[in-house]
Structure 1
Amino acid sequence: MAKNKASSNGANLGFEEKLWQTADKLRNNMDAAEYKHVVLGLIFLKYISDAFEEMHEKLLSEVEEGADPEDPEEYLAENVFWVPPEARWGHLKKNAKQPTIGKIVDDAMTAIERDNNTLKGVLPKNYAREGLDKQRLGELIDLVGTIGLGDKESRSKDVLGRVYEYFLGMFADAEGKRGGQFYTPRSIVRVLVEMIEPYRGRIYDPCCGSGGMFVQSEKFIEAHDGRLENISVFGQESNQTTWRLCKMNLAIRGIDNDGIKWGDTFHNDLHKDFKADFILSNPPFNDSDWKGELLTEDPRWKFGVPPRGNANFAWVQHYIHHLSPTGIAGFVLANGSMSSNTSGEGEIRKNIIEADLVDCMIALPGQLFYNTAIPACLWFLARNKQNSGFRDRRGEVLFIDARNMGVLRDRTHRELTDEEVRKIADTYHAWRGENFESGKYEDIAGFCKAATLEEIKKHDYILTPGRYVGFEETEDDDEEFEEKMERLTAELSEQFRKSEELEKKIKENLSGLGYEL
């Protein structure tokens, strides 16, 4: 199972897992939610220090050409964080066994924020608190100090990026329900990213958690030989500590995080007039505490006022509001969003369908999420279903039923395999009319179906894929019905006979022990 856990978070097998096991031992009795910030803060500090040292060595070799290794501007010009002497990893490592190590780390974080505007208010600065065992903190510094050492295939900071992502997933696992608030399982994010293909443009996530949607977008671009500078990311996160995790996560990846804001998206939309080319998101499911009663006149509700007791269709309409004329959105919602008719939700869904904004619906298997057992689905909305170069999809919606997909990686969590992610994405792209090796799109009973708006109307505007894809075709065994019934009846009779014999033996054994039935 350990092997599957490692692979599910996108890290190399073995190395990250060993680091996690060692770090988890050092946690002692500290709650995972609190320990998360201790560990991830140190990994970030090691990352920016390693990137700084790499640049520092380069500048040292260029001193004769006028380079100054101690000039912060030299680093800022290359998008490298300036790390003052008191914050460099060597200084921390040298003092790791000192009883004042907590204050030394806090001072290092403060110094980095002081000299790098984009990190102000982002880094954790509570390592000196009394409840944090300073001996274990020193051991943790020694452990983090081993990351990237001796790695010949990748730069140290690339390894640190993998470790950071792996640890995010493992902390989500350790925290259970609370962990899901900041982390969306990687296989779900991969489906969203592979479907909408954010090669170029503005990517937006109004409840961005720790930034997983943006990280997977970057990986997609790199895997397809794209250019990272062709995208820009924008997002908002209401939880301040999670917002900090996101800013650090993006900084480790070298992704500009200036567009990531902290605040309540519904009541303080910090991207008010922003229009996105791509929206990737996993909002809180069925949020009943979103204070919708304060927003009944909001201009975002073009398809109907969302119910006060459930924010699902507030999120859907927020996404639509922020889509550019050619934009596409992919997001996760609870299954209830596909069929609920309570509190006006059915009417809102009907209006969105009739506006021909729904592009694709996917039913997901259970047990994919850390924070909920609620069944979930993926929605895809498109402003322009007549994109140049693709087939005209107006008046049509693709339904995919993936409920039977996924493999268990432990007793409680399931994940989609690479092959399954590819099958889902290829089906969608074939339907869109793109030139894929998967060939021309065809409906597959039990898996996918392209349905017209008229068909959806006949189903009362319910978007549950199972209603449309039908049942998987089974092979006919060519056995006549009468013959099959005779064979099955004979088998059942034999099983009854064996059952009677077994019952008789059990009674005899009990009788021998002095017990009668």
Structure 2
Amino acid sequence: MAKQKKETDNEGLQASLKTKTKREQIKEKTIEVTLWEAANKLRGSVEPAEYKHVVLGLIFLKFASDKFEEHRAKLIAEGKEKYIEMPEFYNMNNVFFLEETSRWSYLIKRAKQNDIALLIDTALHTIEKNNKALKGALPDNYFSRLGLDVTKLASLLDTINDIDTNKDPKQDVVGKVYEYFLSKFALAEGKGKGEFYTPKSIVNLIAEMIEPYKGIIYDPACGSGGMFVQSVKFIEAHHGNKKEISIYGQEYTNTTYKLAKMNLAIRGISGNLGEKAADTFLDDQHKDLKADFIMANPPFNQKDWRAENELTDDPRWRGYDVPPKSNANYGWILNMVSKLSENGVAGFILANGALSGGGEEYKIRRKLIENNLVEAIVIIPRDTFYTTDISVTLWILNKNKKARMVEINSKQKHYRDREKEILFMDLRRWGQEFEKQFIELTDEEIGQVAENYHNWQQADYKKTYKNVPEYCYSASFEEIQANDFSLVPSKYIQFIDRDSEIDFDTEMKRIQKDFKTLLQEEKQSQEQLINAFKTLGYEL
């Protein structure tokens, strides 16, 4: 007996040391990196587009279970043991109720069974069925359908098991992991894919500029919900109350719609993403919505988004020309304009082509400027997005641009109405490299851009803002009109002619000398060739 006990104790000690070593490794590498390495073991026949739902589904399961067990223990401690199997006592505290077969402890004990994939699918299905907030959110039969290797799946479960999601609520461990995985999956899927994810630095920039403190926030192409998550983070960072915002969004792709719902659920954010995944243009899920803030990264240059005679009398274009079916850029813009409240502000990303297009786009852009809606245009660095290497633009539309009169001639006291001015900023040379192929704006740069924008917004902006060559310029309506309503920043921002720093006389003399040498060398080569032929008895 003593020997058996000693062997058991040794096994327990070894298991403890093993667990400790694993946890130390996780801490050293960071949970995100360790999990990503474990998740990558599932690759092979499973595409990133598929296995992201597998991995994120498991992370959600662990998170939901930890929250459930924590609340269950709390109910027992409060003497409410008879209520521990009643969903109402969990849902009322924003905790998802889990039946025994959906709990992480149940699954981890069976991790090496051949039917573990089916057990996970059943667990996810049961959780969704029992919690209305998760309707349409969780992966559906992914694990069974993909035929995952049991050993690799068990290894991933074991790695996720080491995450203590309740250890430090302020750290938002699961949220960090989820965000990290979304970015890594977007990178893995490469150009032309990964549309579900907007780089964090761009979302941060929009949030810092439009400051969504309270009210209704809307995203018409919400992807995995990153705009909403960052809005809440912005509010918390500025000591606001996230209960003072309401979230509305829409997403076309069903799997991405699920990602968004799960992303919000993990962070305890309630939002209305519509009854289903649907096309924003053809099946608007929020027809009567008026939003205080709009944050969006809609698909770039979307072609054939409507049929020839489709949506021609849509109320969203009222007062404007119908956006061309060949490109949805201005369809997205007018959709957002129609959703803005009386004092609403929108920050969204579009391809640069929208700044100067002709035809209906020109007419719509001109009307937007004449209606005093365009407040700022910011060129984003190239290679910021994982899905395209083109340079893109951040637009800020504001339905309540402050009327500001600016003195332009102190002697005659002549003023101009600055209300219709537009701020242009060019960030193409900004940012730092990461992943050896992408660029991201640093937190300091984001703060600098936001501060510059807010300084410019002030009534006495002459004291706080100034035009800076190659960076920013505040253009008057008359200047924009003179440029035929183009919103291309380079038409307004002063760019230094670096060629003017070259001493052309010196350079031309150097080139002349080099050219003379080349001509002499060529002449010598010709003479040598002619002599060679003469030696052989041939005349040229």
Shift of 1:420: 1.3
1:226 corresponds in structure 2 to 240
Alignment of 1:90-109 (within 5 A): 90-109=105-124
User: CA contact under 8 A between 1:330 and 1:381: conserved in structure 2?
Assistant: yes
2:266 corresponds in structure 1 to 252
Separation in structure 1 between the aligned mates of residue 293 and residue 307 of structure 2, nearest angstrom = 26
SS of the residue 2:314 aligns to:
coil
User: CA contact under 8 A between 1:385 and 1:394: conserved in structure 2?
Assistant: yes
Alignment of 1:348-359 (within 5 A): 348-359=364-375
Residue 462 in 1 paired to residue 486 in 2? yes
Could you tell me which runs of 5 or more consecutive residues in structure 2 were left unpaired when the two chains were aligned: 1-26, 408-416, 522-540
Separation in structure 2 between the aligned mates of residue 77 and residue 435 of structure 1, nearest angstrom = 49
Residue 405 in 1 paired to residue 420 in 2? no
CA RMSD of aligned residues (A): 3.1
Select which of 337, 349, 362 maps to 1:332.
Answer: 349
Instruction: Quickly say closer, same or farther: Cα 1:34–1:309, change in 2 above 3 A.
Output: same
Separation in structure 1 between the aligned mates of residue 395 and residue 283 of structure 2, nearest angstrom = 25
Residue 280 in 1 paired to residue 304 in 2? no
User: CA contact under 8 A between 1:184 and 1:282: conserved in structure 2?
Assistant: yes
User: CA contact under 8 A between 1:307 and 1:344: conserved in structure 2?
Assistant: yes
User: CA contact under 8 A between 1:51 and 1:157: conserved in structure 2?
Assistant: no
1:61 corresponds in structure 2 to 77
Could you tell me which runs of 5 or more consecutive residues in structure 1 were left unpaired when the two chains were aligned: 1-10, 502-517
SS of the residue 2:172 aligns to:
helix
Separation in structure 2 between the aligned mates of residue 146 and residue 495 of structure 1, nearest angstrom = 70
How many residues in Structure 1 have an aligned counterpart in Structure 2? Answer: 481
**Greater radius of gyration (CA):** 2
SS of the residue 1:327 aligns to:
strand
Residue 319 in 1 paired to residue 336 in 2? yes
Shift of 1:496: 11
User: CA contact under 8 A between 1:325 and 1:383: conserved in structure 2?
Assistant: yes
Residue 236 in 1 paired to residue 262 in 2? no
Select which of 404, 414, 417 maps to 2:439.
Answer: 414
Q: Which amino acid is 1:424 matched to?
A: V
Residue 29 in 1 paired to residue 45 in 2? yes
Q: Which amino acid is 1:462 matched to?
A: S
Separation in structure 1 between the aligned mates of residue 332 and residue 489 of structure 2, nearest angstrom = 21
Q: Which amino acid is 1:405 matched to?
A: W
1:515 corresponds in structure 2 to none
Select which of 149, 152, 155 maps to 2:169.
Answer: 155
1:426 corresponds in structure 2 to 451
State which drifts further: 81-90 or 170-179. Answer: 170-179
SS of the residue 2:316 aligns to:
coil
User: CA contact under 8 A between 1:446 and 1:473: conserved in structure 2?
Assistant: no
Q: Which amino acid is 1:204 matched to?
A: Y
Separation in structure 2 between the aligned mates of residue 435 and residue 91 of structure 1, nearest angstrom = 64
Structure 1 runs, 4 residues or longer, greater than 4 Å off: 484-497
SS of the residue 2:475 aligns to:
strand
Instruction: Quickly say closer, same or farther: Cα 1:258–1:67, change in 2 above 3 A.
Output: farther
Separation in structure 1 between the aligned mates of residue 44 and residue 107 of structure 2, nearest angstrom = 22
SS of the residue 1:33 aligns to:
helix
1:164-198 CA-partner distances (Å, limit 9, x unpaired): 11000000000013543100111111111110000
Shift of 1:407: 1.6
Shift of 1:265: 0.7
State which drifts further: 245-254 or 125-134. Answer: 125-134
Shift of 1:25: 2.4
Instruction: Quickly say closer, same or farther: Cα 1:69–1:462, change in 2 above 3 A.
Output: same
Alignment of 1:106-505 (within 5 A): 106-126=121-141, 127-129=143-145, 131-148=147-164, 152=167, 154-155=168-169, 158-261=172-275, 262-293=277-308, 294-301=310-317, 302-341=319-358, 343-386=359-402, 394-433=419-458, 440-472=464-496
Shift of 1:128: 1.6
User: CA contact under 8 A between 2:382 and 2:389: conserved in structure 1?
Assistant: yes
Separation in structure 2 between the aligned mates of residue 155 and residue 379 of structure 1, nearest angstrom = 35
Shift of 1:375: 2.2
User: CA contact under 8 A between 2:42 and 2:51: conserved in structure 1?
Assistant: no
Separation in structure 2 between the aligned mates of residue 445 and residue 176 of structure 1, nearest angstrom = 35
Instruction: Quickly say closer, same or farther: Cα 1:258–1:354, change in 2 above 3 A.
Output: closer
User: CA contact under 8 A between 2:42 and 2:148: conserved in structure 1?
Assistant: no
- TM-score by structure 2 length? 0.83
Instruction: Quickly say closer, same or farther: Cα 1:489–1:17, change in 2 above 3 A.
Output: farther
1:512 corresponds in structure 2 to none
Shift of 1:136: 1.7
2:54 corresponds in structure 1 to 38
Shift of 1:47: 1.1
Shift of 1:144: 1.4
Percentage of pairs with the same residue: 47
SS of the residue 1:30 aligns to:
coil
State which drifts further: 295-304 or 154-163. Answer: 154-163
Separation in structure 1 between the aligned mates of residue 482 and residue 191 of structure 2, nearest angstrom = 38
Shift of 1:417: 1.1
- TM-score by structure 1 length? 0.86
Separation in structure 1 between the aligned mates of residue 288 and residue 162 of structure 2, nearest angstrom = 46
Separation in structure 2 between the aligned mates of residue 252 and residue 492 of structure 1, nearest angstrom = 69
User: CA contact under 8 A between 2:38 and 2:155: conserved in structure 1?
Assistant: no
